[in-house]
Amino acid sequence: MFNKWRAQASIVLLLLLSVFSLPAFTEESITDLGLPLSSLEISKHAITIFPDGSNLPEGQGSVLEGKALYQSKCMMCHGEKGIEGPAARLAGSDGWFSFSDPLRILRIDKNPVLLISVGGLWPHATTIFDYTRRAMPHFAPKSLADNEVYALTAYILYLNGLVHKDLILNKQNLVKVSMPGKERSVVAWPE
């Protein structure tokens, strides 16, 4: 008797929950041509890494390994110190001038995109991992293994003075790296 009552109550509760958990935007869909997408297929395509570290893969890479990779695959576009260009500035502050880089104004004159900087502006280190893995190097995107992406991320952080040269980067310590761009952030949305 008691069990029966409990079963009924849980059905009522389930019904109530389903009413109240209706999605905010849900109206009945007029279309139904989409096909089910399996979890396996999702896991193959969901490459976005979030600032809290979710979706970071297993693996690791050291600053030292990153340096070697950087010199063979990145330096020709980003420069030895990550500041010379012509491609995006990876290290140092943003803006026209920098005491640590007396030639900056000449570099900007040639490549205006060097006004901005990964190390100066990006608020989350997870984005370095995400973008390197999906898009770099430009001539062979998605060709790096996860361990190599950890190593390159570690080296870019090291070029910015944000981590020690002995660091071995992984999913646990990557999210703990504090980027200077985070404190300066203000969000314009919603307007």
Partner 1 sequence: MLKTKTIKPAASGGLLDRRSFLLSGIALSSAYSLKALSASKAGEGRIDTDMPVWAKTPGHNDVEYGLPSEHEKHIKRIQAKNTPETSTFSMWHTPIENQRGIITPNGLHFSVNHNGIPEIDPQQHTLRIHGLVGRPLKFDMESLLRYPMVSAIHFLECAGNTAPNAVSLTALDQDCQELYGQISGAEWSGIPLKYLLKEAGIKPEAKWVIVEGADGGSHARSIPLEKLMDDAIVALYQNGERLRPSQGYPMRLLLPGWEGNTNVKWLTRLEVTDTPAYTKDESGLYSDILDSGEIQRFSFTMDVKSVITHPSGKQTLPDKKGFYEISGLAWSGHGKIKHVEVSADEGKTWAKAHLEGLVLSKSLTRFTIPWRWDGSATTLLSRATDEHGRVQPTRDQWRKKYASYSFNHYNGIQAWHINSDGRVENRYV
Q: How many CA atoms lie within 13 A of 78 on its CB side?
A: 25
Q: CB of 3: closest distance to partner 1 in angstroms?
A: 31
Between residue 18 and residue 37, which ones bind partner 1 under the rule CB under 8 A? 21-37
Which of residues 116, 162, 168, 175 is near partner 1 by CB under 8 A? 116
Is the CB of residue 151 less than 8 Å from the CB of residue 62?
yes
| Dist. CA 151–CA 59, nearest whole Å | 10
Per CB under 8 A, does 123 bind partner 1? yes
Under rule CB under 8 A, residue 160 binds partner 1: no
Q: Which residues bind partner 1 (CB under 8 A)?
A: 21-39, 41-42, 45-52, 76-77, 85-88, 94-96, 111-113, 115-118, 121-124, 126-127, 130-131, 134-135, 138, 141-142, 181, 184-191
